[in-house]
């Protein structure tokens, strides 16, 4: 859904963007029907997300018309093999990737991130693993200008948005570029959405909250859950922009 600011029709618009984390093709179908804007595909969420098998990527891409971004992370693969795996995902129809590299000092490894993007032909990508950095202020400066970077997935804390939302809200309120880059995800709750929206955040990601009972293992993505989030985001943005919702 795109909401046009009064007096700016035809010139500019603002929209609330919803990413849904999917693990397989059944998830993709439900997330698409529920109104997601994009799918983030990975496996082993309890391990911080890892790369799926190419066959899973293929099946998910076939079951949706939405852009699919795939996690590019495997502790078992070196950099060169990760490049090869990323190339395979793109050949199978992925529209982008989610990866991120930190150096031994837990700072953004700009060189590795830049090389990965360039090796994969300038692919658009999301920075995944950002909350593991040691110096957050330094990290937000370092990600700016990375080639191909579309957004930064962050909860503001390794313990999730429940603990990190205040920091993100304050940062985005004083730094429009951070608000533009932020993809708020990791324990997102409905109560946090209006505050994040008012701070300028427009991108949100949901994972277990898109599933019945919030279970990764016992439930797939639920259409009604995704639809409820879709409506919540659109309503919060309309209110923030002063647009009547009736």
Say what the pTM is: 0.92
β-bridge mates for residue 40, sequence order = 21, 69
Q: Which DSSP letter does residue 76 get?
A: T
pLDDT for 246: 61
pLDDT given for residue 2 in this prediction: 34
What three-state secondary structure class fits 143? helix
In a domain, 246, yes or no: no
Residue 243 is predicted with a pLDDT of 83
Rounded Cα gap, residues 134 and 82, in angstroms: 24
What average pLDDT score do residues 150-167 get? Answer: 97
pLDDT at 237 over 60: yes
Looking at residue 226, its pLDDT comes to: 98
CATH number, domain with residue 144: 3.20.20.380
Count up the domains in the chain and report the number: 1
Average pLDDT for residues 102-130, to the nearest whole number?
98
Instruction: Name residues whose C-beta falls within 8 Å of residue 221's C-beta, 6 or more positions apart in sequence.
Output: 20, 22, 26, 27, 28, 30, 31, 34, 210, 211
Residue 145 lies in a domain: yes
Q: From CA 36, how far away is CA 229, in angstroms rounded?
A: 9
Where does the pLDDT of residue 110 fall: very low under 50, low under 70, confident under 90, or very high at 90 and above? very high
Please report whether residue 11 resides in a domain: no
Q: What is the pLDDT of residues 28-75, one digit of tens each?
A: 999 999 999 999 999 999 999 999 999 999 999 999 999 999 999 999
State which residues form the domain around 104: 16-241
Residue 10 lies in a domain: no
Residues 159-177: what's their mean pLDDT? 96
User: Does 2 map to a domain?
Assistant: no
CB atoms within 10 A of CB 84: 11
- Average of per-residue pLDDT values in the chain: 93
Instruction: Report the pLDDT value the prediction gives residue 1, as an integer from 0 to 100.
Output: 34
Instruction: Give a yes or no: residue 192 inside a domain.
Output: yes
Model pLDDT, residue 14:
80
Number of Cα atoms under 13 Å in the Cβ half of residue 144: 11
List alpha helices for the chain, DSSP H.
Answer: 25-34, 54-62, 79-91, 110-119, 136-143, 161-174, 176-181, 193-198, 223-241
Residues 6+ apart with CB under 8 A from 80: none
| Lookup result for tokens 């950095």 | 133
Say how far apart CA 114 and CA 104 lie, in whole Å.
Answer: 17
Q: Is the dihedral of CA 25, 31, 37, 42 positive or negative?
A: negative
Asked whether residue 74 is assigned to any structural domain, the reply reads yes
Is 156 domain-assigned? Answer: yes
């Amino acid at each position: 859904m795109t909401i046009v600011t009064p007096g700016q029709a035809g010139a500019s618009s603002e929209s609330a963007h919803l990413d849904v984390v999917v693990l397989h093709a059944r998830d993709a179908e439900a997330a698409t029907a529920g109104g997601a804007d994009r799918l983030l595909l990975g496996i082993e969420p309890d391990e911080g997300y890892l790369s799926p098998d190419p066959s899973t990527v293929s099946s998910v891409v076939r079951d949706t018309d939405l852009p699919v971004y795939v996690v590019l992370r495997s502790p078992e693969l070196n950099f060169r093999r990760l490049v090869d795996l990323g190339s395979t995902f793109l050949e199978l129809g992925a529209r982008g990737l989610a990866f991120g590299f930190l150096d031994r000092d837990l700072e953004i490894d700009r060189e590795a991130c830049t090389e990965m993007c360039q090796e994969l032909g300038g692919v658009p990508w999301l920075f995944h693993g950002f909350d593991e950095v040691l110096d957050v202020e330094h990290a937000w400066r370092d990600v700016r200008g990375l080639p191909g970077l579309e957004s930064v997935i962050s909860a503001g804390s390794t313990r999730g948005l429940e603990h990190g939302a205040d920091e993100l809200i304050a940062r985005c309120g004083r730094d429009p570029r951070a608000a533009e880059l932020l993809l708020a995800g990791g324990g997102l709750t409905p109560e946090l959405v209006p505050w994040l929206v008012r701070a300028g955040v427009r991108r949100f990601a949901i994972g277990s909250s898109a599933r019945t009972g919030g279970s990764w293992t016992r439930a797939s993505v639920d259409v009604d859950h995704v639809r409820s989030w879709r409506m919540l985001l659109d309503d919060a943005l309309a209110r923030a922009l002063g647009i009547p919702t009736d």
